[in-house]
C-alpha cells in the first residue's frame, strides 16, 4: 500500500516508522523543503525524536505530487492551528479521488468548535465532492517518543462506519501497536483535544509544588470535564473511560514526554506562554485548544472550571496561585457525573 503522511513532526515521523515496518511504501511530507532535505539525508529529527532513526525505506519529500496520485491512504499529522489551511490544499490535491484519510491531529477549532476530522471533511466536501468516504480519527495515549521506539502502545481508530474503522485497524495494527475501533469519533476527538488543556493544568500544579493529591484531583475532575463536554457536544459518555479519554488524559498529565504538562510547569515558573513554547521547541496543542474553552462552555451550557482557569492563566495572564484558589473556593457541591442521579 502507498501511504502519504502529511506532517514530518514527531508524531508523523513515528507513524512513518510503524507503517514502513509493515512493508507499506511510506512517504513522509514536510511543507519545508529544507527540513525534508535534512531528514532525508540524516534520517533523524534530533530535537523532536532524539535517538530515533527514520528508516531508509521512508521516502521524505516536500513535494506531495510524487505520491498523491497513487496514495491509497493519507495520514494528516500537522499542528491543529494549520489544519484548515492544509485541508484546503489537500482538497485541491485529491483531484476527486476517494482515498482513505486518517486524521492524527488533536484539537478543537476555536471559532467553530469543530474537531480536526470535521475541519478536514468540511474543506474536502467543498472542494472535492467525490471524496465522500469521510475522515477517520486515530487517537489515544501514544507519545511519539515511545511509538518511534516501538514500545507497546494501544490506540483507537474511530469512525461512525465501523467497517471503515476496521479497515484502518488492519493497516496500522502491529505486534507493538495495538489498534481498537470505536464508532464514536466525536467523543474520541473531544477527549484527545481537551486532555491537552487539562495536562497544562497538571503541569502548573506540579510546577507550583502542589504534590500528588492535587494532581490526582485535577486528573479525576478533569475526566469529569471531558465527559461533560463530550455529552454536551453529542458524544457518548462511555467513550471517555476508554483509551482516548482516561488513557490519553493520564499519560499526558503524568509523562515526562508531555509538552502540555511541561508547558504548564514553565508557566508556573514564571515563563510567558510564548517563552514557554519556545523553550519546549515544539507546538503545544493545549495552548491552541484552550482558546475554544469560552465558546465550548457557552455551547454546552455548563462550566468547565479547570479548563476555564487554564484559559485565564494562558490567555488573560491570571496568576496561577490565584487560579488554584478560585478552584478550591468554588461553590460547594456534590460529586456528580453526567447522567447520574447524584
Query: How many C-beta atoms surround the C-beta of residue 120 within 10 A?
Result: 26
Q: Binning pLDDT at 50, 70 and 90, where does residue 6 land?
A: very high
> Is 106 a residue of the active site?
no
Reported as a single tens digit per residue, the pLDDT across 42-73 is 999 877 888 899 999 999 999 999 999 889 99
Residue 153 pairs in a beta bridge with: 177
59, 195, 262, 318: which is the annotated catalytic residue? 195
Classify 190-328 by CATH class: mainly alpha
Q: Binning pLDDT at 50, 70 and 90, where does residue 320 land?
A: very high
The whole-chain average pLDDT of the chain stands at: 92
* Domain residue ranges of the chain, discontinuous segments joined by +: 2-183, 190-328
Please give the average per-residue pLDDT across 172-183, as a whole number.
97
Reported as a single tens digit per residue, the pLDDT across 132-156 is 568 999 999 999 999 999 999 999 9
Q: Which CATH number does the domain 2-183 belong to among 3.30.200.20, 3.30.360.10, 3.30.460.30, 3.40.50.720?
A: 3.40.50.720
Amino acid at each position: 500500500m502507498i501511504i502519504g503522511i502529511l506532517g514530518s513532526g514527531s508524531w508523523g515521523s513515528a507513524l512513518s516508522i510503524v507503517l514502513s515496518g509493515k512493508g507499506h511504501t511510506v512517504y513522509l511530507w514536510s511543507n519545508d523543503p529544507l527540513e525534508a532535505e535534512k531528514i532525508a539525508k540524516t534520517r533523524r529529527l534530533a530535537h523532536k525524536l532524539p535517538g530515533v532513526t527514520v528508516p531508509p525505506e521512508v521516502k521524505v519529500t516536500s513535494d506531495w505530487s510524487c505520491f498523491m496520485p497513487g496514495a491509497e491512504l493519507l495520514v494528516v499529522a500537522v499542528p491543529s492551528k494549520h489544519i484548515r489551511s492544509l485541508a484546503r490544499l489537500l482538497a485541491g490535491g485529491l483531484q476527486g479521488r476517494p482515498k482513505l484519510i486518517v486524521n492524527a491531529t488533536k484539537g478543537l477549532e476555536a471559532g467553530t468548535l469543530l474537531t480536526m476530522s470535521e475541519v478536514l471533511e468540511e474543506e474536502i466536501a467543498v472542494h472535492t465532492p467525490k471524496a465522500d468516504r469521510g475522515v477517520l480519527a486515530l487517537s489515544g495515549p501514544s507519545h511519539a517518543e515511545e511509538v518511534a521506539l516501538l514500545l507497546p502502545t494501544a490506540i483507537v481508530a474511530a469512525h461512525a462506519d465501523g467497517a471503515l474503522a476496521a479497515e484502518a485497524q488492519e493497516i496500522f495494527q502491529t505486534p507493538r501497536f495495538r489498534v481498537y475501533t470505536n464508532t464514536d469519533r466525536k467523543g474520541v476527538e473531544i477527549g484527545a483535544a481537551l486532555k491537552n488543556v487539562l495536562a497544562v493544568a497538571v503541569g502548573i500544579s506540579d510546577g507550583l509544588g502542589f504534590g500528588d493529591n492535587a494532581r490526582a484531583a485535577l486528573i479525576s475532575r478533569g475526566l469529569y470535564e471531558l465527559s461533560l463536554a463530550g455529552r454536551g457536544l453529542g458524544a457518548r459518555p462511555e467513550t471517555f473511560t476508554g483509551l482516548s479519554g482516561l488513557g490519553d488524559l493520564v499519560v499526558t498529565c503524568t509523562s515526562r514526554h508531555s509538552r502540555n504538562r511541561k508547558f504548564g510547569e514553565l508557566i508556573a515558573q514564571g515563563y510567558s506562554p510564548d517563552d514557554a513554547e519556545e523553550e519546549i521547541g515544539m507546538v503545544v496543542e493545549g495552548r491552541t485548544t484552550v482558546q475554544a474553552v469560552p465558546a465550548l462552555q457557552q455551547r454546552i451550557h455548563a462550566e468547565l472550571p479547570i479548563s476555564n482557569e487554564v484559559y485565564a492563566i494562558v490567555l488573560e495572564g491570571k496568576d496561577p496561585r490565584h487560579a488554584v484558589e478560585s478552584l478550591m473556593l468554588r461553590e460547594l457541591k456534590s460529586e456528580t457525573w453526567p447522567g447520574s442521579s447524584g
